[in-house]
Amino acid sequence: MEEQLKQIAQWIITSKRVVVFSGAGLSTESGIPDFRSPGGVWDKYNPEDFYFQNFIASEASREKYWQMATEMWEPIKAAQPNQAHLTISELEKLGKLDCVITQNIDGLHLKAGNSEEKILQLHGTAIFVSCLSCKKRYDRDEIQERIKKGQMAPRCEVCGGLLKPATISFGQTMPEKETQAAYHRSSTCDLFIVIGSSLVVQPAASMPLVAKRNGAKLVIINRDPTPYDDTADLVIHAQAGPTMASLLEYVKKGIGIDHEPTI
């Protein structure tokens, strides 16, 4: 793996536009459960109950949604960035990150120190709640306090509209601005690094191919094989955190930074 990491480090150093694409593997390494795995949330609830159309149509559906969302929020709130998140943040500080495109809703890239404008959240974020009518944004903890006090399906204090975590639910349209920006950044980068994603959830999973078809080098760092391993220029099957921490040290050595690692 050492030679592979040195090669990736060299590509990072010589690239002008590095895009990082992060998936659920980063969240699980920070202790956030994989909600689709046995014993996860979807063992207790039927995902079909949480389609966006049901949330809009029924107060009972909204109450059930918020019950499920509250259970999911506790581990997300407690989670801290791992070595992979911190390395991606460090790449931004070194001037080597164009953006991070993430499928994750946990806000850990922001918590790790990446600038908000550098993060494209394809599936939204759980750390805020938004009004579906007037678009007012609330801090998640403020709304969770209301739920603790008995508001089973809270509404906007400004317009009375429906409140929902700022995540993309089943049946809900992908965020147009972020999705367009992600495709554009993918098509114009010269190095695209996938970290902790199985690359099976569309349309996000098509972005590595967009990058590759437009001339970028494609690197995949994931514990398990992905459908695009044969397309990539370099693949490492390993945990994201330790791998990215080692990679950062090769990058720093390559650009002449000898101080102690920040992670």
Is residue 207 within 8 A of residue 28, CB to CB? The reply is no
Helices (H), the chain: 2-14, 24-29, 41-44, 52-57, 59-78, 83-93, 108-112, 140-148, 176-188, 207-213, 240-254
Quick count: other Cβ atoms within 10 Å of Cβ 176? 8
Is residue 123 flagged as an active site residue?
yes
List 85, 109, 123, 184, catalytic entry: 123
Is residue 86 within 8 A of residue 262, CB to CB? The reply is yes
Is residue 181 within 8 A of residue 120, CB to CB? The reply is yes
Is residue 98 within 8 A of residue 15, CB to CB? The reply is no
Residues with catalytic annotation?
123
